[in-house]
Amino acid sequence: MSKCRKIILIICPLAALYLFCLPRQLFSPAYSAVLYGGDGTLMGARISVDGQWRFPPADEVPEKFEKCIISYEDKRFRRHFGVDLLAIGRALRLNTLHHRTVSGASTITMQVIRLSRPDSPRSLPEKIREAVLATRLELRCSKREILLMYASNAPFGGNVVGLEAAAWRYFGRPAEELSWAESATLAVLPNAPAMIHPGRNRDKLRSKRDFLLQKLLDEGIIDETEYTLAIEEPLPEKPLPMPDPAYHFLERMRASRGDGKIESSLDPALQRRVNQIAKARFSEFHANLVDNMGILVLKVDTGEVLAYYGNTRGLAPSLRGTDVDMIPAPRSSGSTLKPLLYAAMLQGGQILPTTLVKDTPYRHESFSPRNYSRNYEGAVPADEVIQRSLNVPCVRMLEQYGVQEFIDLLHSAGFGGIDRGADHYGLSLILGGAEISLEELTGAYRTMAAKLAGADDESTRRLALGKGAVRLTFEALSKAGRPEEEASWMRFGPDRRIAWKTGTSWGNRDAWCVGVNRGYAVGVWVGNSDGEGRSGMTGVSYAAPVMFEVFSSLPRAGWFEMPEEELVQLAVCRKSGLPAGPCCPETDTLWVPDIERRPDECRYHRTVHLSPDGRWQVNSSCCPEGEMLEEVRFVLPPAMEWYYSQVHADYRPLPPRHPDFEAGTDTRNTIEIIYPLHNTTVVLTRALDGSQQGFVARAACADPEAELWWHLDGHYAGSTRNPHDFKLSPAPGRHTLTVTAPDGSERRIRFTVK
């Protein structure tokens, strides 16, 4: 074998060994979970699973730290190939002269190798191995990449690893914003992190920092003024806590994505402002033992999360449930879903914005809802029903629309938590019978706003509502009307218009408010995470003020354009809100959805014939046609009329029928039993002597002077004239109540007495 071939056989394995001696990935540590806002601001961090503060690698090493570390550790870093022969010669000479190690020769590249092999012994063979691997690393990576590996993995004392984590732990800001003195302090720490630490050995730390600053001055890297200012800067005190303005958001992202770098759309300034608002309101709420709160702000056009306040964590010691993130937590919806029903019925042509909805006592099987005020108005325009959040009219609307159909609509709006059928929820769905989350609620209103604003994404395409219905719904929600218990509220001027809705769940357990404009959707929940209700806690009194304060912190975003391509103008009766009929004396022109199906023409205005003096209703059986007065009157059914007339002083009931009036073909039933309702249970009370007391039944009749006859279980009980209130004293058990009028009208109900 020739000498040349022998050399090749020796060199090739050595070359291959050298080529593959360096692992493909030098570092694979456990990183901290680190959250950044939309502008790159640090929004929070969590210690890694191995107990270290170790941020994911940055993209660049800050210039000041780069100059400091090269000057202090490896001044020929830019010129050597991983091993500094001059430094090795100097170290050998000094260490031999002093008979101990007084100088090292490790380059930054060699230190990177050592950092990647933390369990390797500190011996001469290991030093040789580090030198070889360092030269191989220089062939693989640029000087910038090597320096970045060092800055990302060097120890900085205690459990702090990496430059960025050290900058935040010791100085409370990113590494790129550090001063020369601060950069120099961190540059000397990796040299002996166990001995020199900001919390101890402060004289040694200052001495080393000042030595480096003098070196920077001597090398012309800083001038005399910069040196003078830097030398006067104090050393850092004990490590600082990491910023944590979005605790629950970080925990949620960490649970879904794991540790590492987490980029978000959070607006740092807005998040801080939202936190301040929550803190300011907390003392007021806590006085009523209301301890928890959630606030969510979304950008309408993109759906991005701009602020996320999951709960009142850290505001007071021993608060209950503050670790619970209330934004995805399921809670009773209260009245917050009513506007979606209104929009759905507008789109389906079942109502128009001002259509009268019946507001009288209602019962469906065992479900008997009541308005918050415990009063009834007979008939209320649909848009006012939504503005004032009236319960009974909304239940009647849901019954007309269909519970399952409404569930399907809610699914299209993103309410995935409503996952059971119509039989489970029933009509109580519209009053809080289902659980939703603040995330779903705010997202649904954001989706409606985004669709109206013209955004095209998965959520807007899925939403089964058109722009026209949404625009009319937002128009109603932006008006001022609210029920009596919601009279105290903050109203923005027309230049900052907001469509908003409150909600309060049964037992005052949940207070909701959600609002949208052209740019933003804001949702607020207030309550106790354990479900305890508190007296006086309503959506308007607790959640709405928070929502309006958040909107005050947002840029002006304007209002929505009218989507005229999906709307048409229609003449409607001013009184009934239905399409105007030939008898309607006054009409308004409204924007309505451009659909084929619409409610029938107004049925409440009709022509009536009166006696010459106007005292009686007449027909040809009791008055010559030439003497009759013909009038158009607004006439409601008896029960609606009874309640409507209590709150509308201008309502004119029809006069009674003339004694000689023959009904003929007029077969309308003029009687309604107002109380008790059909299939209800009446619980009787007892007097002080132990005797059982009765109750007062009530009926309404279209003829104000008619005498009504009352029968209980087929036996005549008595008669009444207006008002038709009749006291009954039935025995416990099942009963039948029948009321009749002179014109042959009759009403019959069944009820149970206990």
- As a three-state string, the secondary structure of 481-545 is CCCHHHCCCCCCCHHHCCEEEEEECHHHCEEEEEEECCCEEEEEEEECCCCCCCCCCCHHHHHHH
> 172 — phi, psi (to 5°)?
70, 25
What gap in Å lies between CA 451 and CA 463, rounded to an integer?
Answer: 8
608 burial level (CB within 10 Å; 0-12, 13-18, 19+): middle
DSSP designation for 597: -
- Which residues are CB-contacts of 237 (< 8 A; sequence separation ≥ 6)? 198, 199
CA distance 624 to 488: 58
Residue whose structure tokens are 């040694």: 204
- 726 three-state secondary structure: strand
Question: 27-231 belongs to which homologous superfamily?
Answer: Biosynthetic peptidoglycan transglycosylase-like (1.10.3810.10)
- Which residue has tokens 């994505």? 257
* Residue whose tokens read 């009647």: 396
Domain residue ranges in the chain: 27-231, 565-593, 671-753
Indicate the DSSP class of residue 185: H
Q: Is the peptide bond before 585 cis (omega within 30 degrees of 0)?
A: no
Report the C-alpha gap between 319 and 114 in whole angstroms: 47
Beta bridge partners of 695: 728
Fill in the amino acid letter for 97: L
- Residues 652, 631: contact at Cβ < 8 Å? no
Q: What is the pTM of this model?
A: 0.87
Assess whether the region 27-231 and the region 671-753 belong to the same CATH fold: no
Which CATH class for the 671-753 domain? Answer: mainly beta
Which three-class secondary structure string do you get for 643-684? Answer: HHHHHCCCCCCCCCECCCCCCCCCCCCCEEEEECCCCEEECC
The answer for residues whose C-beta is within 8 angstroms of residue 714's C-beta and 6 or more apart is 736, 738
Strand pairing class (356-359; 378-381): antiparallel
Could you say which DSSP state residue 686 is in?
B
d(CA 711, CA 149): 95
Predicted local distance difference test score (pLDDT) of residue 675: 86
**Which pLDDT does position 483 carry in this prediction?**
35
State the DSSP string of 699-717.
Answer: EEESSTT--EEEEETTEEE
352-383 residues labelled b (16+ CB within 10 A) or e (exposed):
bbbbbbbbbbbeeeeeebebbeeebbbbbbbb
How high is the mean pLDDT in each 10-residue block of the chain (754 residues)? 64 62 82 96 96 94 96 89 72 56 70 85 77 83 93 92 96 96 94 69 90 96 96 91 96 95 97 97 93 98 97 88 96 96 96 95 83 91 94 95 96 96 94 96 98 95 96 90 40 72 94 96 97 94 94 93 94 95 94 91 92 88 88 91 91 86 66 86 74 84 85 91 89 92 85 88
pLDDT at 674: 85
Q: Alpha-carbon distance 82 to 138, whole Å? A: 6
Q: Which of 236, 235, 238, 210 has the alpha carbon at shortest distance from 68?
A: 210
Confidence at residue 662, expressed as pLDDT on a 0 to 100 scale: 75
Cis peptide before 723 (omega within 30 of 0): yes
Residue 434, pLDDT score: 96
CA distance 576 to 302: 40
pLDDT reported for residue 488: 39
Give the span between the Cα atoms of 110 and 142, in whole angstroms.
14
